Amino acid sequence: MGNTNSSVIPTPTKTAFDEKDSILEVIDPLSEMHIAQPLSSDGSLTLGHVSSWEASSSADPKIRLARTIFSQSDIRSVLSSRSARIADQHIFNHVLDFKTGPITNQKSSGRCWLFATTNVIRYGIMRRLKLKDFQLSQSYLFFWDKLNKSNYYLELMIEHAELPIDDRLITHLSGDLISDGGQWDMVVNLIETYGLVPQSAYPESTHSSLSGPLNALLKTKLREHALILRTLADTLRSAHVREETVMSTLRAKKEELMKEVYNIMTATLGVPPNPNKRFVWEYIDAEEKVGRWEGSPKDFFEQFAAKPFSPVDSFSLINDPRNEYNKLYTVDKLGNIWGGRPILYVNTEVENMKATVVKMIKAGQPVFFGCDVGKFSDRDAGVMDTAFFEYENAFDIKLGLSKADRLQICESAMTHAMVISGVHLDLSGKPVRYKVENSWGETAGKEGYFVMTDAWFEQYVYQVVVPKALAPKELVAVFESGDKIVLPAWDPMGALA
């Protein structure tokens, strides 16, 4: 399988060398540049710079007006576009034929990917059982994810114990080592291993809704555990202990340390249902009839969530203009369950992603997607639109970064996962805007729903998840080939929504 680093798609070059052309290629760009002498030859910032800039700026009436307004107001509220607000109506001519509820709320946690996943899965369950209100337990998946991420981190520390403590990989892995966030393949790992339960079987706790204090404590302990394992590894190898014995000793010690993690988590989140033990779920449907089901969490998944489109048979399409399309990608050292399903992406043109979304909505299937929600979006209005804030006009600037530029310079990455539940098509069948179900409660957006413009989709949507049955056949073939290109651990495609 392939194992090459991420790279920018190369620009085609001339096949024959021409000295004249070569000279012109250098001269032409220079002739268009304004060559000037700096005020500071050593690169330092001086008061001369400030005086020069101020002399120009204070004479500009537009800048003077901007200083008057923006020094006393939030630029986002002042510069929100009236025309965009009018254009971005919460009206869609293709929506799912069944509305789920309630609007979920991840509160002060980074569990959006678990909420997006369970919001997608609950659609079929609610429709089948005719439920008015229903949630799957996000906390149940959160518990198993956090426990497994702790184990994953310590396994990586064992695997790379010989690297210097300040090696870039060790530093990266020890940064946000047990993030609340995740990716589609991670949730598939969890569902396959632990199943699903209704929220009533494992409800929210203080620290599932407010994950910061728990994360801080776990990170402190896990970094301590990492150093213990590294020291033990060095001691054993310095004594020339057989490698097989080294590994078994390290794993035995890791299991001892993981008990501390388990105790912290069960104390703060509660003991979760055993994936293989039966429990009873009673519910009331929309007609006020009482229903009863009995089985294990894994049974619940198999019976209610595996049809018509199983999460196991779905995969991620991404739009990453830095890298070649129609290729399979993964990110090194990214995962939650050790030895589980790897994180896999099929890179494709954004138009393919749009067409896939439209096809899924028309087929009655909600869409999990990953995006950079903080860019050109308004929480109160529930709008995501590249034209929503008039920054360029107000500050007389040009925001010229492309989607590829933003990824390369760390300006953008997947930060949030949500669900597309509708789309508005123009007369030619092209998408104009999308209906988005968020997990920020009913007070965000229009009763919990957002509108996303097609232009915003192009620039800030990076991922959509599609069942194989609804995906383009050629992209399914890329996914099933297994011939993946490995991106470095710190690549932006490793961002966890």
Question: What is the structure's pLDDT at 39?
Answer: 87
Q: Is 94 a catalytic residue?
A: no
Question: What is the structure's pLDDT at 6?
Answer: 38
Rounded to 5 degrees, φ, ψ at 495 are -65, 140
Q: Is 323 a catalytic residue?
A: no
Give me the residue spans of the domains in the chain. 94-129+136-193+201-487
Q: Give the Å distances, CA to CA, from 426 to 249, 430, 431.
A: 64, 5, 6
Catalytic choice (207, 225, 416, 424): 416
Question: What is the structure's pLDDT at 307?
Answer: 87
**Torsion of the alpha carbons at 30, 33, 38 and 41, rounded to the nearest 10:** -20
pLDDT for 35-86, tens place per residue?
788 988 899 999 999 999 999 999 999 999 999 999 999 999 999 999 999 9
Establish whether the linkage from the previous residue to 308 is cis, with ω within 30° of 0. Answer: yes
Average pLDDT, integer, range 470-492:
98
Q: Give the Å distances, CA to CA, from 218 to 89, 148, 180, 231, 300.
A: 44, 12, 12, 20, 30
Name the band, by pLDDT with cuts 50, 70 and 90, for residue 480. very high
Q: Is 112 a catalytic residue?
A: yes
Question: For residue 15, what are its two tokens?
Answer: 């096949």
Q: Which amino acid is at 34?
A: H
Question: What is the structure's pLDDT at 37?
Answer: 87
Mean pLDDT of the chain: 93
Cα separation of 462 and 164, whole Å? 34
Cβ atoms of residues 7 and 323 within 8 Å: yes
Question: What is the structure's pLDDT at 179?
Answer: 94
pLDDT for 200-250, tens place per residue?
999 999 999 999 999 999 999 999 999 999 999 999 999 999 999 999 999
Q: How many CB atoms lie within 10 A of CB 448?
A: 20
Establish whether the linkage from the previous residue to 213 is cis, with ω within 30° of 0. Answer: no
Which H or E run contains 282? Answer: strand 279-284
Cα separation of 138 and 142, whole Å? 6
Sequence-distant (≥ 6) Cβ neighbours of residue 307 within 8 angstroms = 124
Catalytic choice (105, 112, 352, 371): 112
pLDDT for 378-436, tens place per residue?
999 999 999 999 999 999 999 999 999 999 999 999 999 999 999 999 999 999 999 99
Query: Considering the entire predicted model, what is its pTM?
Result: 0.92
Superfamily covering domain 94-129+136-193+201-487: Cysteine proteinases (3.90.70.10)
Is the model's pLDDT at 271 over the cut of 70? yes
Question: For residue 34, what are its two tokens?
Answer: 């304004």
| Exposure string over 453-478, b if 16+ CB within 10 A, otherwise e | bbebbebbbbbbbbbbebbbeebbeb
Catalytic choice (148, 319, 323, 438): 438
